[in-house]
């Protein structure tokens, strides 16, 4: 027994002593880095199901795991939170199958962690194999017909929402950027000519974001585009312009100014700094950084940082950062600043669910709008965000009177992404046809 903790294959051997004939399954799990696949329809329990002695009138959640397996470690804080915050309506028990293997034998498990749901009468109702998020556990109790509530019996307070703008957006349409909904500054205006009218953008960067979202043939597209000469305020063909690219001192975020010729750009560079680039060079730099979910062009300074399988990528918004999990099918780690204060929020996923969240009070804003049919749809990447708590979210919403949407949990934001089909993922954030809203 003292060799169990040394190496994973010995670990699997000991687990095999729990039930005969399960060694192959456990070895397959260990080969997958200790994270068994989440199973919606786990193996049926032995002989009509297990039973627990009735312990009052509360349902019970039993987690069979171990102190050293990775998904079991991720389950530990969830179980502690449920045990503490839901103690009036739910009994929670954890059994370490490596420490007390005999205690696990009656349940016929072959993989850890396994969660078993028991009714107040001790009858088994459901079992799940693998990591199971708090939200999924509570949702399963609800599905099973049980009212599991926090201590005191008070249901969670209704999530914050604003479905009507705090004030009407009375800005003239030609002063609002097609991509980001920001105000258009005359000296950086970009105009794209289409069969359905002009598309007006606040900056060359928003133009390149739009360009990266197009699904049409882009050959010769730049011929439809005009940029504003920063010196004179006049529109000029984007192919004729010289571009001055600089960096904001505090954040390192790029800025771009267009000029009618190289001489004018060089003159501005003498006072503003930066480098003079051709359109081709600028386009190469603008399209170099892309969202790992929707492939939209983005600046790292504006983006969430995402780690996936040891590789680094970006999320053009908080929700697209979570979308990297569904696009890759991998577990991810997201670092997203609070939309109000810049405080860092860290989300780790496992098998398509939130495994850990720091701080645990963090919430998501799902920016939405009603379309012509009256259906609520996403308001787009520029209107999403994470916040360290609901109070920060409300302050941010107050600062954006035209925004509408709902507060949701980050677990729900991830769940929404995980429901997308491969076809929906391929079309995510794509414009399809460049035309005015």
Write the DSSP assignment of 294-321 as a string of letters: T--B--GGGSEEEEETTEEEEESSHHHH
Residue 8 has pLDDT above 60, yes or no: no
- Which residues, including other chains, have CB under 8 Å from residue 302's CB and lie 6 or more apart? 253, 316
Query: What element of type H or E holds 228?
Result: strand 225-228
pLDDT score of 135: 86
| Residues 345, 338 contacting (CB under 8 angstroms) | yes
Residue 434 has pLDDT above 90, yes or no: no
Dihedral Cα 29, 31, 33, 36, nearest 10 deg:
-20
pLDDT band, very low/low/confident/very high, at 395 (cuts 50, 70, 90): very high
pLDDT score of 63: 97
Dihedral Cα 273, 275, 276, 280, nearest 10 deg:
-150
The Cα 194–Cα 225 span in angstroms is 10
For 359, other C-beta atoms within 10 Å of its C-beta total 12
Residue 167 has pLDDT above 60, yes or no: yes
Residue 18 has pLDDT above 60, yes or no: no
Dihedral Cα 301, 302, 306, 312, nearest 10 deg:
-40
Q: For the segment 326-361, what is each residue's pLDDT rounded down to a tens digit? A: 999 999 999 999 999 999 999 999 989 999 999 989
pLDDT score of 295: 96
The Cα 340–Cα 388 span in angstroms is 9
Residues in the chain: 437
pLDDT band, very low/low/confident/very high, at 216 (cuts 50, 70, 90): confident
Report phi then psi at 170, rounded to 5: -100, 15
Average pLDDT (219-246) is 97
- Which residues, including other chains, have CB under 8 Å from residue 281's CB and lie 6 or more apart? none
Q: Among 73-77, 323-327, 339-343, 402-406, which stretch is predicted with the lowest mean pLDDT?
A: 73-77
pLDDT score of 39: 40
The Cα 387–Cα 404 span in angstroms is 16
pLDDT score of 303: 98
pLDDT band, very low/low/confident/very high, at 170 (cuts 50, 70, 90): very high
Mean pLDDT for the chain overall: 87
The Cα 181–Cα 173 span in angstroms is 10
Q: For the segment 279-303, what is each residue's pLDDT rounded down to a tens digit? A: 999 999 999 999 999 999 999 999 9
| Listed residue (57, 135, 65, 127) closest to 94, CA to CA | 65
Average pLDDT (41-51) is 47
pLDDT band, very low/low/confident/very high, at 159 (cuts 50, 70, 90): confident
> Hey, what domains does the chain have and what are their CATH numbers?
8-143 (3.40.30.10), 173-286 (no CATH), 294-427 (3.30.450.410)
Strands of 229-318, DSSP E = 235-237, 242-247, 254-259, 275-277, 304-308, 311-315
- Nearest-Å Rg of the Cα atoms of the chain is 27
């Amino acid at each position: 027994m003292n060799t169990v903790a040394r190496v994973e294959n010995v670990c699997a051997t000991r687990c095999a002593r729990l039930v005969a004939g399960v060694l192959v399954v456990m070895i397959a799990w260990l080969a997958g880095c200790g994270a068994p696949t989440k199973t919606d329809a786990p193996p049926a329990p032995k002989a009509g199901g297990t039973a627990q002695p009735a312990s009052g009138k509360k349902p019970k959640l039993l987690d069979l795991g171990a102190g050293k397996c990775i998904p079991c470690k991720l389950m530990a804080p969830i179980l502690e939170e449920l045990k503490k915050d839901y103690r009036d309506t739910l009994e929670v028990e954890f059994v370490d199958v490596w420490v007390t293997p005999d205690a696990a034998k009656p349940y016929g498990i072959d993989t850890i962690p396994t969660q078993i749901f028991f009714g107040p009468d001790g009858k088994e109702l459901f079992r799940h194999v693998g990591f199971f998020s708090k939200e999924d556990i509570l949702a399963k109790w609800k599905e099973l017909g049980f009212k599991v509530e926090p201590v005191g019996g008070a249901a969670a307070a209704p999530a914050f929402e604003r479905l009507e703008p705090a004030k009407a957006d009375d800005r003239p349409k030609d002063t609002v950027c097609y991509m980001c909904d920001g105000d258009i500054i005359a000296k950086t205006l970009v105009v794209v000519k289409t069969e359905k009218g002009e598309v007006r953008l606040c900056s060359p960067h928003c133009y390149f974001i739009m360009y990266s979202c197009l699904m049409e043939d882009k050959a010769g597209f730049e011929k439809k585009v005009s940029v504003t000469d920063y010196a004179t305020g006049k529109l000029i063909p984007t192919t004729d312009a010289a571009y001055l690219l600089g960096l904001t001192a505090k954040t390192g975020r790029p800025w771009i100014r267009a000029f009618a010729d190289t001489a004018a750009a060089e003159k501005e560079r003498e006072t503003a700094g930066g480098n003079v680039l051709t359109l081709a060079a600028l386009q190469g730099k603008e399209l170099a950084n892309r969202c790992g979910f929707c492939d939209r062009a983005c600046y790292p300074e504006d983006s969430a940082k995402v780690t996936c399988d040891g590789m680094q990528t970006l999320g053009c918004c908080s929700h697209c950062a979570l979308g990297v999990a569904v696009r890759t099918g991998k577990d991810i780690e997201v670092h997203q600043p609070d939309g109000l204060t810049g405080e860092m929020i860290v989300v780790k996923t496992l098998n398509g669910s939130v495994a850990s969240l720091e701080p645990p009070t963090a919430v998501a804003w799902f920016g939405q709008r009603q379309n012509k049919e009256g259906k609520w749809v996403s308001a787009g990447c520029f209107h999403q965000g994470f916040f360290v708590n609901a109070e920060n979210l409300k302050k941010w919403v107050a600062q954006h009177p035209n925004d509408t949407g709902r507060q949701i949990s980050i677990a729900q934001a991830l769940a929404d992404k995980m429901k997308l089909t491969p076809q929906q993922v391929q079309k995510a954030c794509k414009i399809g046809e460049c035309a005015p809203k």
